Amino acid sequence: MDDSTTGPLPAGDLVLRGHALVDELMGVRTLSEVTYLHLAGRLPTVAQAAVFDAMLVALIDHGMTASVLVSKLTAFGAPNALQGAVAAGLLGVGDRLVGSIENAAYLLDDLLSAAPTGAALEDIAEAAVEAASAEGRILPGIGHRFYKSLDPRAGRLFTIAQENDLDGPYVDLVRMLSESASRRHGRPLVVNVTGAIGALVNEVGLPWQAGRGLGLISRTVGLVGRLLDPDGVPIAEVLAAAQARPSR
């Protein structure tokens, strides 16, 4: 049963933010264009669509992350409810992990809109790093445990943004935050993939609140793929490893 059958289906229900689903979107606009429409309330330009598509692709899967492990463990216990395994994996997309996109997007938006007219980006970045440092806060989107000169996902995203003339002030600012933080802390703190996407959320014209949503959309693709994959990590071994430790 299609779920629209649970009630009458007014014509308006097949309209997505003012565009007719069947006639104007299906087969006319790509999945990422329609996703942009649904999140922003308007269709993207060609440049926005290109950058937005790469942002979503960048987030699909980053190896055996906590979310993938959670989904696999959940499917092990409840093998007949794929939706439960995906939902469980998404529940970890919160403040600490992928959700930091939202925090980075908010920070950059906030810094730029609060800055006095004509303020130099270098000064804005310097002040933000100093303030965070004084309060013992870590800047979202800056620093990576593994990458020390470049997060290749961030580098690629910035190239795509440049090719589409969308490497504006938010991209500049996040790079300066990285440079300023690296200087202050005396060690390389790169713009990581969530910092790059946080900047680009703003560049492509989405509200910062959309940041966490992007992570949820891409990770759903990632988790569904992992759950359908017949290979992959043997869950029983992961469990046995955890159980071999004293449990409290």
Ranges within 101-130 binding its own copies (CB under 8 A): none
Closer to its own copies by Cβ: residue 62 or 184: 62
- Considering only 44, 48, 67, 177, the residue that binds its own copies (CB under 8 A) is 67
How far apart CA 160 and CA 57 sit, in angstroms, is: 12
How far apart CA 221 and CA 216 sit, in angstroms, is: 9
Quick check: 82 binds its own copies (CB under 8 A)?
A: yes
How far apart CA 79 and CA 222 sit, in angstroms, is: 18
- SS3 assignment, position 119: coil
Quick check: 222 binds its own copies (CB under 8 A)?
A: yes
CA nearest neighbour of 198 among 151, 112, 140: 140
Please list, in sequence order, all residues whose beta carbon lies within 8 angstroms of the beta carbon of residue 130, skipping any fewer than 6 positions away: 184
Return the range that interacts with its own copies (CB under 8 A); candidates 75-83, 106-114, 127-135, 179-187: 75-83
Quick check: 144 binds its own copies (CB under 8 A)?
A: yes
Residue window 172-211: x/- pattern of binding to its own copies, with contact defined by CB under 8 A: --------------------xxx------------x-xx-
Quick check: 48 binds its own copies (CB under 8 A)?
A: no
Tokens of 188: 């390389």
- Considering only 42, 94, 119, 137, the residue that binds its own copies (CB under 8 A) is 94
